[in-house]
Amino acid sequence: MRNFYIFMSTGFGSGYSPFAPGTAGTIVGCLMFYLLHSFFPGYFPGSGIESVYFIALILLFLVIGAKASHYLEPDWGEDPQKIVIDEIVGVWVTLLFVPYSLLNLLLAFVLFRLFDIFKPLYIRKFEGMKKGWGVMMDDVAAGVYANICLQFYVWLT
């Protein structure tokens, strides 16, 4: 189980990036979303009733991420940089219910990274949650704020 947790929590190895592992994990999340949309356009468009499948995938990765983080933190320390499954989930939350386009994907990346790095609006408070949930939930909160901004942009255009 340990190897599975390491593989998943490091975003399939992207968390080992020597430069900006969180950004690398976010890129992996965006690439996964792009591939899901490309291969399963009726199931992962980012908007509409089909989003039930995307929500299920987000919840699955959220639970795996919390369990993996809780399992690995004793060895790796609290919220280690190489755990990036939280960035994958966070950028997916940013893309939830957003019409698919490459521009929206790029904006989701930028907005999520800004909220994740600067952690405004009480996002940092989520880091205090126990058993791996703090690792995951601050990025979910960043994703929610980024999603609101992206939804507002989509509404304006």
In the predicted model, what is the mean pLDDT of residues 58-66?
98
Contact 44, 111 (CB under 8 A): no
The rounded percent of the chain whose pLDDT value lies above 90 is 84
CA torsion through residues 157, 148, 21, 12, sign = negative
Which amino acid, residue 60?
A: L
Coil/strand/helix, residue 62 = helix
**Token pair for residue 62?**
């959220």
Predicted local distance difference test score (pLDDT) of residue 63: 98
pLDDT in tens, 111-147: 999 999 999 999 999 999 999 999 999 999 999 999 9
Which residue reads 């609101």 in tokens?
Answer: 148
Predicted local distance difference test score (pLDDT) of residue 48: 59
Measured CA to CA, the distance from residue 151 to residue 36 in angstroms comes to 21
